[in-house]
Amino acid sequence: MFKRIMVPLDGSQGAEREIPVAAKIARASGGSILFLHVVLPPVEFGTYREDHTIALKPTAFEKRLEGSADYLADIVKSHASDLEGLDVTLKPVSGAVSPTIFSVANLEHVDLVVLCSHGESGLRRWIFGSVAHEAVRRSPVPVLVLSEKGLIPTPTEPRPWRILVALDGSQLGETAIEPAAQLVSVLAAPAQGALHLLRVIDIPSATGKYRGPTEFDTTVRNEAREEAEGYLTDTTDRLQASLANYNLTLTSSAVIGTDVVDTILEQAGHVGGAEEMGGCDLIGVSTHGRTGLLRLIMGSVAEKILNSTKLPLLVVRHHHGEARDQEEHEGAEV
């Protein structure tokens, strides 16, 4: 269960959108919240900064660090109603942004990071670009990314929140299932949540980029669908015991599509007749290194899924074999 939730803030109002979400999760799970603000460290005066900002003198840096503590204290005051009764910790720190976030997550035994992507600066840089690769690959805990203009899962009335978890057919791809079950259960509480497992069958296309040279014929399509449906049946049967403690329903579907991301987004709005209630409320994916759903988070495909949906995105990284995967695939295109 999510007992320790970290909320990184960057000083913008957009970043504060995750506070009610983190508060709801913490309250429903009996957990606590850690508010983090990272101040870039000073460098020798006159040197060129890699992020193109002006170097700070130590005295100016000290003032910024003090201001960081004041900023976090003001945040707690302005969100007093959301945070009432919760155990809250404030942590202003100095360091490089993404390494510091995930180092603190480890040191503070954080179970979930909740952040908001907004605009072309601030926290958005943790999702896109070179920092994103490091953050997604090395995050020690699940990360819930909220869109600046998207849905914020904090309804005033309990309702059956639904999360779609995209699978690639591998056991490593199933890493996101249990965290997704935990998340949707606490967000829906005291109502029942819903977890839908989606297996997208990515077929070759004669015209699609990165596809094979020919279309699948009907026989191959049917065989691929049957194999995917069999995998989902086995998976749901296997999960019944491990998910029994969560107040949720479990469903699944296998869908053929030439574009994985487009198919996921389309299904998120229609699974189980959910389109009449606005579709699914969240999407969950796992990343595990070499192939599969890692491509949903990195590069142009990641930007597409985050830019094309207003749904919150839960990202869970698989850690086993990490060192070996990193060595074998360092510098590989994703």
Report the pLDDT averaged over residues 119-133: 47
Phi, psi of 108 (to 5 degrees): -95, 5
Q: What is the pLDDT of residues 159-191, one digit of tens each?
A: 778 999 988 888 878 989 999 999 999 998 888
Domain count, the chain: 2
Q: Pick from 264, 275, 255: which is nearest to 305 by CA?
A: 264
124 and 249 share one domain: no
User: Residue 110's CB: how many other CB atoms inside 10 A?
Assistant: 24
Instruction: Answer with the residue of higher pLDDT: 183 or 119.
Output: 183
| Boundary of a domain, candidates 114, 147, 180 | 147
208 and 278 share one domain: yes
Dist CA 286 CA 163 (whole Å): 14
| Boundary of a domain, candidates 147, 179, 201 | 147
Confidence tier at 57 by pLDDT (50, 70, 90)? low
Q: Label residues 292-311 b or e (16+ Cβ within 10 Å = b).
A: bbbbbbbeebbbebbeebeb
Quote the pLDDT of residue 130: 43
Quote the pLDDT of residue 279: 78
Q: Is residue 155 part of a domain?
A: no
Q: What is the extent of the structural domain holding 120?
A: 4-147
186 and 100 share one domain: no
142 and 180 share one domain: no
178 and 318 share one domain: yes
User: Residue 319's CB: how many other CB atoms inside 10 A?
Assistant: 13
175 and 324 share one domain: yes
pLDDT score of 207 more than 80: no
Burial class of residue 242 in the structure, from the number of CB atoms within 10 Å of its CB (0-12 exposed, 13-18 middle, 19+ buried): exposed
Report the pLDDT averaged over residues 126-149: 65
Q: Pick from 248, 243, 7: which is nearest to 112 by CA?
A: 7
Quote the pLDDT of residue 257: 85
Q: Is residue 119 part of a domain?
A: yes
Q: Is residue 153 part of a domain?
A: no
Under 8 Å between Cβ of 133 and 298: yes
| Boundary of a domain, candidates 96, 116, 147 | 147
> 3-state DSSP call for residue 199?
strand
23 and 136 share one domain: yes
pLDDT score of 127 more than 80: no
Residues paired with residue 272 on neighbouring β-strands, in sequence order: none
Q: At what angle do helices 260-268 and 299-308 cross, to 10 degrees?
A: 20
Q: Pick from 312, 283, 286: which is nearest to 174 by CA?
A: 286
User: Residue 199's CB: how many other CB atoms inside 10 A?
Assistant: 22
Confidence tier at 125 by pLDDT (50, 70, 90)? low
pLDDT score of 21 more than 90: yes
186 and 320 share one domain: yes
pTM greater than 0.75 (yes/no)? yes
Q: What is the pLDDT of residues 235-291, one digit of tens each?
A: 999 998 889 999 999 999 999 888 888 888 999 887 654 444 457 889 998 876 444
242 and 123 share one domain: no
135 and 270 share one domain: no
pLDDT score of 295 more than 70: no
Q: Is residue 111 part of a domain?
A: yes
User: Residue 249's CB: how many other CB atoms inside 10 A?
Assistant: 13
139 and 258 share one domain: no
